[in-house]
Amino acid sequence: MKAVVYSTQTFEKELLARANQKKHDITLISNPLNIDTACFAEGKDAVIVSPSDDLSASVIQKLADLGIKFINCRTFETQHIDKSAAKSAGLKVAQVISLIPEEIAQQIIENLDHWKSPKCAGKQYACKDAYHKKD
């Protein structure tokens, strides 16, 4: 899976590289996600974001237009994501459930692994999906 990490902090680079083990093609950039930087997601399947990134309806639509299918938040916080716009655009949204940097990196990669798997149905218990709840 191809992904771009926005708002990358220096300490995250090594953690993500170790967790990824070269399974996914991940581009790390320090720029925050906004309407002007969404273009860096072109050709990717997923964006990996932080709570400081702009995930308003207009940015989400631009990501969808670029072919993004997945939004992976590096925290449990997803209030900054317009989940209604993401759902309307057909994007799956996931978050992590840890506060420990090493575990966050691992959960990000696990989310990418789940999405890459044909068995992933987009449910919270399978993909930590932020807007689908287990029935």
CATH for 43: 3.40.50.720
Say if 86 falls within a structural domain.
Answer: yes
Say if 33 falls within a structural domain.
Answer: yes
Say if 113 falls within a structural domain.
Answer: yes
Q: Is the pLDDT of residue 124 over 50?
A: no
Q: In total, how many domains does the chain have?
A: 1
Look-up of token digits 């991940």: 26
Mind listing the pLDDT tens digit for each residue in 49-69?
999 999 999 999 999 999 999
Output the six-digit token pair for 124. 């919270």
Nearest to 80 by CA among 109, 55, 102: 55
Instruction: Residue count of the chain, please give it.
Output: 135
pLDDT of res. 29? 97
pLDDT of res. 132? 38
pTM of this structure: 0.86
List the domain range (segments joined by +) for residue 25.
Answer: 2-127
In the three-class reduction of DSSP (H, G, I as helix; E, B as strand; rest coil), residue 81 is classed as: strand
Say if 133 falls within a structural domain.
Answer: no
Say if 105 falls within a structural domain.
Answer: yes
Say if 60 falls within a structural domain.
Answer: yes
